[in-house]
Amino acid sequence: MIIATWNVNSIRARAQRVMAWLQLRRPDVLCMQEIKIEEVEFPSLELKALGYDVMVEGQRTYNGVAIASRLPMREVRRGLGDGEADAQARLLWVSVEGVRIASVYAPNGQTVGSDKWRYKLRWLERLRRHLEQTGDPQQPLALCGDWNVAPEARDVHDPVRWEKAVLFHPDARAALARVCAWGLRDAYRLHHEEAGRYTWWDYRQLAFPKNLGLRIDHILVTAPLASRCQAVEIDREARKGKQPSDHAPVVATFEP
DNA sequence: ATGGTTGCTTAGCAA
């Protein structure tokens, strides 16, 4: 089974690119983030024509996640479900062939010390609780998405500078590590040790051609799925050309 | 040094 994740930065702006990419790569499952659209507006029929069903946890203007799959999706769950008032669409679960799969869009946090920053740290703590209460680290499970956190210095082009910012701040890294401590491995690091492999590059100042990026999009898997993981790749090609998303897809291949 | 780019929505915010 091939599972991919991609922050598309608006499905309205990116529909043609996403569909061309699905036809090219043919993943079984694609988790999308920042679709920035409500469910009724999502181009579900167009993806259906390519052989993909779509589940959508949508929101107007901001956030929003979705999952497209060529295989049947079951057990659809939306949000953290912890009873806290939360208007932000950031989490969607499905089950595909016995694997629980989530599309995750963690809060960015904007600036350290802001209300959005505190929301980011709390949201990751709420996700940890959500996993404790609804998941099992001994079952195959994959959390796929834009975590807005680079885990280590080798995931950041300029770690000294970025340590003061929300994407690589020690508190954000600790919050992500707390999620992983529930029983998750970073699938990319099962297969790659090298520094300088990124999934996001700022649109500004030629960051992509200079490779001034961060690795903030991750596929996190439980042990039973880690043992089935054959390959994980970042598709830099999808970040090239006209009107790209600012993120590249991450693609993981699992044995049946 | 608060720049610069994109998207949504239409001037300002979020990333």
Could you report the per-residue pLDDT of A170-213, keeping only the tens digit for each?
999 999 999 999 999 999 999 999 999 999 999 999 999 999 99
Do residues A102 and A93 lie in contact, with contact meaning Cβ atoms separated by under 8 Å?
yes
Taking the CA of residue A9 and the C1' sugar atom of nucleotide B11, their distance in angstroms comes to 21
* A146: nt with nearest C1' to CA: B15
Q: Is pLDDT at A119 greater than 90 in this prediction?
A: yes
d(CA A139, CA A137): 5
In this complex, which residue's CA is closest to the C1' atom of nucleotide B4?
A204
pLDDT band at A160; cut points 50, 70, 90: very high
Q: Give the distance, in angstroms, between the CA of residue A185 and the centroid of all CA atoms in the same chain.
A: 14
Q: How far is the CA of A243 from the C1' of B14 (A)?
A: 18
Residues in reach of strand B, judged by a CB distance below 7 angstroms, are A 9-10, 12-13, 34, 36, 60-63, 107-108, 110, 116, 203-205, 243
Strand B contact nucleotides, protein CB < 7 Å: 4-9, 14-15
**Predicted pLDDT at A85:** 77
- The C1' atom of B7 and the CA atom of A119 lie apart, in whole Å, by 23
CATH number at residue A210: 3.60.10.10
Contact indicator for A251, A27 with CB cutoff of 8 Å = yes
What mean pLDDT do residues A154-169 have? Answer: 97
CA distances from A134 to A43, A88, A116, A143, A152 (A): 30, 20, 26, 13, 28
Calpha distance A219→A44 (Å, rounded): 24
Domain that holds residue A193: 2-254
On whether the CB atoms of residues A159 and A195 are closer than 8 A, the answer is no
Give yes or no for residue A4 having a pLDDT over 80. Answer: yes
Angle formed by the axes of helices A115-134 and A170-180, to 10°? 10
- The structural domain count of chain A equals 1
> Which nucleotide is closest to A166, CA to C1'?
B15
Q: Are A112 and A86 in contact (CB under 8 A)?
A: no
Give me A250's structure tokens: 């991450």
pLDDT value of position A166: 98
Predicted local distance difference test score (pLDDT) of residue A84: 86
Shortest-distance nucleotide from A108 CA to C1': B15
Taking a C-beta distance cutoff of 8 angstroms, is the pair A112, A168 a contact? no
Residue A99 corresponds to which tokens in the numbers above?
């694997």
Express as a percent the part of chain A with pLDDT over 90: 98
List of residues 6+ apart from A90 with CB closer than 8 A? A57, A63, A65, A79, A104, A105, A106, A107, A123
pLDDT range class, residue A23, cuts 50, 70, 90: very high
**A98 CA, B14 C1': separation in Å?**
36
Q: How far is the CA of A10 from the C1' of B7 (A)?
A: 7
pLDDT in tens, A49-108: 999 999 999 999 999 999 999 999 999 999 999 988 778 999 999 999 999 999 999 999
Q: Which two tokens stand for residue A79?
A: 């949000």
Average pLDDT over residues A15-31: 98
- CA end-to-end span of chain A: 6
Between CA A183 and CA A166 the distance in angstroms is: 24
Stated in angstroms, how far is A28 CA from B1 C1'?
A: 47
* Mean pLDDT of the residues in chain A: 98
Question: What's the order of all strands across the beta sheet hosting A29-33?
Answer: A53-57, A65-69, A29-33, A2-7, A250-254, A229-234
Nearest nt by C1' to A11 Cα: B7
The yes-or-no verdict on residue A113 having pLDDT over 90 is yes
Closest to A11 (Cα-Cα) out of A201, A251, A245, A250: A245
Q: How far is the CA of A61 from the C1' of B14 (A)?
A: 10
